[in-house]
A = this chain, B = another copy of it.
Amino acid sequence: MTNVRPGRPRSEQARRAVLEAAGDLMSVGGYEALSMEGIAARAGVGKQTLYRWWPSKAAIVAEAALDGTMPLPQVLLLNSGDLRADLTEWLRQFIEAMQATESVALVRALAAAVSADDEASHLLYDQFTSISRHALIERLLSAADDGQVRPDADIAAAADVLLSVNLFIVLARDPHTAARATDLLDIVLNGVASP
């Protein structure tokens, strides 16, 4: 297992500089204003170095997000014992976070990456959703233990529906929709069908 390759090793400093530059520029002008040229210039790095290690803009953004270099909005899903209250708070925090310019840029990056269809876009998409998904599943499992969730409910599906609602609110970018967040949550909790 010889992972020592000949030649000069990859510069960790360059890697960090690139990710930080990407995060910085993203905060300023959003995903569209992000250019490989711009990242290279701000990071003090040759363009070749970018293309050597990352196949696309989305890949850089994804790594920056994974790496924690990029300031993702931190949203906590608490466990107070009251599922509805916790989910309401979780949605509220999301909506609040989406007011910040930086977060909007990140969401746009997500949308752009999804539409760009390269390999990195799924990575990016998963990165943006998997954390929340895990937290939701854990919270729902805990609620199931408490008897707050009906026994035959598909918890993974419920988590995805909650994510859907979240995504919907974010993409709509519409204050009116945000204001109705608790109504949407009520549907997910109680369903629409007669019992």
Contact = CB atoms under 8 A, between A and B. Distances in A.
Given A115-B30, A167-B171, A161 B188 contact: yes
Contacts of A30: 115, 117
A145 interface: no
A14 interface: no
B140 A192 contact: yes
A186 interface: yes
B150 A160 contact: no
A133 to B, nearest CB: 11
A62 to B, nearest CB: 15
Query: Taking chain A's interface residues, is the majority helix, strand, or loop, or is none over half, making it mixed?
Result: helix
Interface residues of A, number: 55
**How many of these chains are in the complex?**
4
A126 to B, nearest CB: 9
A158 B192 contact: yes
A187 B111 contact: no
Contacts of A114: 108, 111, 171, 173
A147 interface: yes
A32 B187 contact: no
Given A149-B192, A149-B194, A161 B157 contact: no
Given A125-B171, A167-B164, A180 B193 contact: no
A122 interface: yes
B184 A189 contact: no
Interface of A: 30-32, 83-84, 107-112, 114-117, 121-122, 125, 140, 147-151, 153-158, 160-161, 163-165, 167-168, 171-174, 177, 180, 183-184, 186-195
Given A115-B115, A154-B183, 15 more contacts: A108-B114, A108-B115, A125-B172, A148-B193, A150-B190, A150-B191, A150-B194, A153-B191, A160-B184, A161-B184, A161-B192, A167-B167, A187-B188, A189-B192, A191-B191
